[in-house]
Structure formats: structure tokens, C-alpha cells
Amino acid sequence: MLNKIMKPKTIAVIGASTKEHTIGSDIMKRLQEYNFNGKIYPVNPKGGIIEGLQAYTSVLEIPDEIDLAIIVVNAKFVLSTVDQCHQKGIKGLCIITAGFKETGAEGAKLESELLSKIREYGMRCVGPNCLGVVNTHPDIRMDGCFAESLPERGNIGFVSQSGALGGGILNILKDLNLGFAQFISIGNQADVNAETALEYWEDEDDVEQILLYMESIQNPANFRKLASRISKKKPILALKAGRSAAGASAASSHTGSLAGADKAANALLAQSGVIREYSLKNLFSTAKVFASCPIPKGDRVAIITNSGGPGIMATDAICEYGLQMAKITDETKEKLRSFLPAAASVKNPIDMIASAPIEHYKQTLETVLADENVDMVITIYLPFLGLKDIDVAEALMEIKAKNPTKPIIGVFMTKSEFFSKLSDMKVNMPFFMYAEEAAEGLHRLNQQRLWQNRPEGKIPNYNVDRVRAEEIIKQSISEGRAQLTTRESIDVLDAYGIRVCKSGFATNIDEVVEVGNKIGYPVVMKMTSKTTSHKTDVGGVRVNIQSEAQLREEYNDLIAKLTEKGLIEGLEGVIIQEMVKGNREMVAGIATDPQYGPMMMFGLGGVFIEVMKDVTFRIAPLTDIDASEMIKSVKAYKLLEGARGTTPAQMDQIQETLLRLSQLVSDYPFIDELDINPLLISEKTGEAIAVDGRIKVRLDEAVDKLGGCVCSGCSECCK
């Protein structure tokens, strides 16, 4: 798919230059300095000699076939240059040139024309407005970008939406002790984007982990499909920028891309098995771990240290990340006692004490690695008694080379010169300054293990009453109402098999009493209005009504209050519901992000929803695994399990509620908002019961999908 770009045998640099410190000059130099294995053809209207090579006045003059054209001409000449590349039969383009959609409407029009040509000519294009591309494979050795430093060889495939950021990272790879297999700066991603790179690298053996710096995700559904599959084979780490409102605005102006809501992006990445990091430091710390550590078989960690304090701190960090401290076998302890001093502790964490020589580090690590109860190891070093840090590190790496199947991380609380020395060495295990960094690295390894072992999940299809649901929605849109009434909302939920309160609808005092007596007291009375959606703000919800007399009194008072406030005209009637007893109020619902589409929500509801914000999101459609994870991921899960003697909630039934909501929004994607708040957990049965509901649709889309009109029942178009 991208071989012409990433594995070219011939490259034409269109816009090559002899002028120092220009992009056209720097790219020529980088290609040559990195010893590109193919042929390079500089193209410049003046011809001549550029970097010792014959320059051609046009790409059409080059005698050989060209795989990749790197274009660095002025934006106004790019389209004609692409035409010439097509004439030449070139299929791979990397357009470094800026001046496209990132500059505004005129640039966006130019980029649209560019994309049309690329599609028409059957080309693939990286950019425009990008840094370039890199492939460090010995058979290729292509540094087709203008970063200052030459790339370091490694096993990472890295996509950067920001060219400058990508260049900065290329410059510090050596200091990070990391290397790239391939690098793509996608820039404005007119054609090639993060999804293209993911798909290309899926079966590239050279790329063992994938890193993404993204400011937007162009096609969330396709990204989810690809990333979910590929992350089962190799880790995908992402730094998604634009988390804050200000950051999102900056991202838009920087690349011309709209940034979706961060909670939607977070949900998408989680469902796709992508490990999200929130800083470059964490991104490359995690990459360092994946670069040299295998995926562990379990989550049991052993800690080896020559100082008690750091060992305890490492233990705390391991436990905070939900990992297990390995239970060292008696056989291992016996072997450790045979060579460690009496003052040493052979329990986990294993404290060899400050006098531990290199030999004790080696013997202890070898012994612990052989323990069947140990999946991962942290080895901590503090400088004592003249023991040299680099000597200890080399000893650990020798043992790691002989034991490649278990992750080992070194924590060296020593001078920064140690890490500088490591950058000049070929290391086979990660080293950090602090134990917390090592614990986080092991947590990420375990996260990948859990994802790879996670079942695929299924999207169930329930038998529902779609005819009834559609009739209710059609009635609302025929009256020009995007907001369904409470009664309509609850009836739609009921049509989709969601457990709602036993209820009845009444429009006058006699009907109110009849419904209340039929349901049985205590009951709840709620107004339902075509003009007022937030009932509690106007006193439209009356609870714990114990008798017929109280019901009459509450109804008469409601009518009086609404009349007084001028809200009586929109009143449709009242809903009388069974009063479900329960103190655990959850929320379930649907919110629509303009870029990512429908998002499912679940968490702590009631009056605490805005204060506690203990909610989680996933992108629809949900699988059964997604729904189960949503329930378990909120802090209120402990309440659902039955804290302090309460009846445990029916988890399967809550999961089914979420899945039925997901089916509802899949059937009717024009649903813009849906809230079940509260989704009350019955103290008697543990059922999750929809006590209240609110549905809002995007009116024009609903009309297009279901037919009808939005004339509020007026004359001509409804006849």
C-alpha cells in the first residue's frame, strides 16, 4: 500500500536546492548522510549540480523510473508538479510544502484539488505540510525529512501529525535510548493518515510497536476497527492532543482539523486497545519498556533492591497500579539465603542490603527469574561502597540476554551521567531513575497482556418493538418537537425492553386518582410537558405520595403552581409511577459528539452527577464486554456490589440495559441526547429501573429517516 513511499528504490527531490539551510537542501543532505540505498535525483528548474548529483530541470527529464517524489516547491506550483509526476508514472508522493488547509479557506480549496488529483491518478501521498518520512531498515536507509539529527535504528513505527514535534523527537532519540523502524509525518493528512499507517504496519515485522501523536482522528469508526485488530498483535501507544478547550482550538488552527471531545477520544482509544499517554515523557517511557520487554505471562512482580526504603516505595507503586507482589517460593528463599548475608530479607521485596556486591545482584536476579511465581522483576540500585552503576547495569543486561522471556526493569537512583553513558550503549532492558516509573512501565505491559487476552465481545440484537418506538418518535417530529416528552421518552425505553417503573398517564384529577389506586401507594407524580423538560426546576416531581388524599392535594398544587408560572399551556398531563425504594441512583444515557458519533454513558446519577462526575463513556455500538467494563470502571461499582449489607445490583440486567440503549441509538442514529436519570437500583430486587427518561433528536435527520414533516400539524404539507 505504501511501499513506493516507505521502501523506494528511487527518489526524486523536486525543489532540491544548493542554498544552505533550506528544506530542499537539507533533505538532499539527509538522504545522502544516512546512505540511502537507492538512487537520488534532484530536480531544480536551474539544473546544475546539487550535493554532487546532476540536477534535472523537470521530473520528466529523469531517465529512470521513480518510486517516490519528495516535493518542496511553493504551494502554487504543487498541483502542476503532481501532474508531471503522474506523467512520469510516479505513484508515491511526500509533499513537504505548507500553505494548504492549515492556512484557511483558500488553502483548503487548494488541498481539495490536490486530493482529487491524487485519487484520479491512483497515487498515495504523505502530507502536505509535513516533515517527511523515514525508514531505518538496513536495506532501505531512507531519511527523507529535514530534522537536524539522523534517525536512530529501532523497532518503533511513529506517526506524527505535527512535523515540528516529530523533528524534535528525531533529534533526541539517542538520548531517549530509543530508535525508529519507520517514521511518517502526516501533516494535513490529505491522503495518508494514522489509520493508513496502522494498516500498513500491521504485518511489517520491522515495526514491533506503534506510536501515534494525533490532534484529530479523521474516521473514528475505521480507526476503531483497525486499531482493535492491530493492537492484539502489537502495542499501540497514543498521545492525543487537544484535551482542553484551548488545546482543541489550537489544534484546529494548527492543522485545519476539528478536534473531537476528549472524553469521546478517550473512549475510542480505550475500546480500541490503544494505550493512551498524556505527555511525551510518559509516551517514550512506555515505548522504552515495550522496546525491550516481552509481554508478561501474568501480573506478579518481584522487587530486588540494595536499600529498604526504595523497595517499599516500589512495592507501594506496584500495588497502586493493581499489580500483584509475587509470592516467592520456599525453594527460592532457601537458595537466596545460601549466599545472601543473614541481615538480608528474602521476602518480596528482596533486600540484599547496602553491601551487596555485583555477584549478589547477578545471583539474586537469576534465582528470582527462575521462580515460577514471578512474572516480572524490578531491580533497584543505589550507589554504596564504591559499587559502579554502569558495572551493575552491564551485569543485569548479561542476565537479561540469557533470560529473554520475563520483563526486567532497572531502577538506578544515581547520577545523570549514568543515563548519558547508556545512550552510547546497546541496551536490552529499560532503566529509570525512580521506582514509580518502573511500576508504571510494568502496568502498561500488563495492560497490553490483558487486552491481548480480552475476548472480542459480541453486539447482541434484542427483540424490541420498533413499530411502537417509531410511532412515538414520529408523533413528536410531526409536531416539530425535537424533545420528546417524559411520557414519550419512557414509552420508547419500554418499547426497547428497558425496565421502567409501572406507571400510568392521567390528564385530570379523576384519571390521576384512578391510576394511583391501580398502581398502589406510595407513588410518584411527574408532570410531562411539551415545553418544559427539566421538571424538578418547576416543582414538577412529587415523591412518596402515601394516599389518595395526598395525591389529590399534590395534583391540585402542581396545577396551581404551573398556572402561576405561566407554564400550564404546555402541560401534557402527569405520569403516576410506582415508588421504587432505593438509595443508589445511577445514570445511563447517550450523548452525541459531532466527530465521534453516539457515546454511551454510565455512572453515578441523581443530583450528584454534575458534582461527582463519576461517569464513564464508550463509543456506540457497545459489545457485551464494553458494557461490562463500563459498569466495573466507575467508582460507584462498589455500591452496586452491595456495600454495607445492601442488596447487590443485578449486574447482568444493568449490562443489558446499556446494550439495549446501544441498539436503540444504532437503530435511530438521529438521537442526539438520551438520559435515564435516575436509573434506580431497587433495594428489594437489585433491579436497575428507569425512573425518569429524556430523549432529544436531531429533527431534520429524524424527518429524513422516518419521513413526515415538521410543520406542527399545520395545513398544506400535512394533508
Question: What are the cell numbers at 474?
Answer: 414520529
- Which has the closest alpha carbon to 218: 263, 182, 268? 268
Bridge partners of 409, per DSSP, are: 378
Closest CA to 293 of 378, 188, 166, 172: 378
pLDDT value of position 613: 81
> Does the predicted TM-score (pTM) go above 0.75?
yes
Q: What is the predicted pLDDT for the residue at 272? A: 97
Could you give the 3-state DSSP secondary structure of residue 87?
helix
Give buried/exposed letters for 621-645 (b at 16+ CB in 10 A, else e). bbbbebbbbbbebbebbebbeeeee
Concatenated DSSP letters of 578-638:
E----SEEEEEEEEEETTTEEEEEEEE-GGGHHHH--EEEEESSPPHHHHHHHHHHSTTHH
Question: How far apart (Å, rounded) are the C-alpha atoms in residues 613 and 634?
Answer: 10
* pLDDT confidence of residue 609: 72
- CATH superfamily of the 584-705 domain: ATP-grasp fold, B domain (3.30.470.20)
The SS3 assignment for 505 reads strand
* Right CATH for 466-578 from 1.10.8.60, 3.40.50.10800, 3.30.1490.20, 3.40.50.1370: 3.30.1490.20
3-290 has which CATH code? Answer: 3.40.50.261
Side-by-side strand order, sheet with 153-160: 142-145, 132-135, 180-185, 153-160, 209-214, 236-240, 275-277
Residues of the chain with pLDDT under 50: 246-260, 712-719
Indicate the angle between helix axes 262-271 and 220-230, nearest 10 degrees: 30
3-state secondary structure of 42: strand
What pLDDT sits at residue 531? 78
What is the distance between the alpha carbons of residues 395 and 328, in angstroms, rounded to a whole number?
23
User: What pLDDT sits at residue 592?
Assistant: 86
What's the confidence (pLDDT) of residue 252? 37
What is the DSSP code (8-state) at residue 56? B
Q: Give the model's pLDDT for residue 582.
A: 86
Contact of 331 with 322, CB cutoff 8 Å:
no
How far is residue 651's CA from residue 674's CA, in Å, rounded to a whole number? 21
What integer pLDDT is reported at residue 163 of this predicted model? 85
- Where are the CATH 3.30.1490.20 domain residues in the chain? 466-578
How confident is the model at residue 255, as a pLDDT? 27
Cβ–Cβ < 8 Å for 675, 638: no
Residue extent(s) of CATH 3.40.50.261 domains in the chain:
3-290, 294-453
- The tens digit of pLDDT for each residue in 143-172 reads 999 999 999 999 999 999 988 888 889 988
SS (H, E, C) 665-711: HHHCCCEEEEEEEEEEECCCCCCEEECCCEEEECHHHHHHHHCCCCC
Task: Among 3.40.50.800, 3.40.640.10, 3.40.50.150, 3.40.50.261, name the CATH number for the domain at 294-453.
Answer: 3.40.50.261
1-14 pLDDT, tens per residue? Answer: 799 999 999 999 99
